[in-house]
Amino acid sequence: MSAELTPERQLNAVKDYIWNNTPDPSFEEFDKVQDVSYHALSIIREVLKFPEMVDQIKLGAACVIAQRGSGIYLPMNVGKAENTPDSGFTNKEIKYSIYALGKSVVLIQNPHFFDSEQNLELEKSNQLNLAGNLIPAGAISTPDGTIISVSGFTAEQDRAIALAAAVKSNRLSREQATEIAQSGEKDSSEYMNSLLELQY
């Protein structure tokens, strides 16, 4: 993505890539990911209530649920991040949406990837970046092709939320999720385990 694009045009460019490179999904396929979206959104809402998030005035986040090969693409925003300005973007909601979409595109473009942080392992010419920033951790894929992408927190917290949602929706075992959590540059397994204890 060119650094000259405005945030809104970046967001539209990512969406255009998705719509042009995935088939049209069926209603049955959407049903398959409803539980994933429920857990991902529920966890994000609970995390936004954490005292440290309240202290940081963290108002929202973005999430994308996708399914490889099905055309399912569900971008969602949680909270009121659109009320928070951002120096490089119009507001935080647009920023989080762009990154959540971008992380998921990394996993769609690279079917053997299980973590968007693997973007950093690609040749520089193949690495996806937005406004000059490389796409970080925060999206994961599961053996059945489900992609869960989160943006709005640190990259490690984003990954932990995605992994916790995958475990709670039975897309990953706790052991599989722990392995992914520990495979990144920074270990997010401890945070993930705390999220798995959440009741909502």
| Strand partners for 126 | none
pLDDT tens-digit map of 72-104: 677 788 888 766 767 777 778 888 888 898 899
In a domain, 185, yes or no: yes
pLDDT tens-digit map of 123-177: 888 887 776 778 889 999 999 999 999 999 999 999 999 999 999 999 999 999 9
Determine phi and psi for 75, rounding to 5 degrees: -85, 130
What is the C-alpha separation between 67 and 25, in angstroms, rounded?
9
H or E segment at 130?
Answer: strand 129-130
Domain total for the chain? 1
Domain that holds residue 147: 7-196
- pLDDT of 4 > 50? The answer is no
pLDDT value for 49:
95
Cα(first)–Cα(last) distance of the chain, in Å? 38
Say whether 184 sits in a helix, a strand or coil.
coil
Output the CA angle 98-195-139, nearest 5 degrees.
30
H or E segment at 149?
Answer: strand 146-151
pLDDT value for 77:
87
What is the C-alpha separation between 145 and 111, in angstroms, rounded?
9
- pLDDT of 56 > 70? The answer is yes
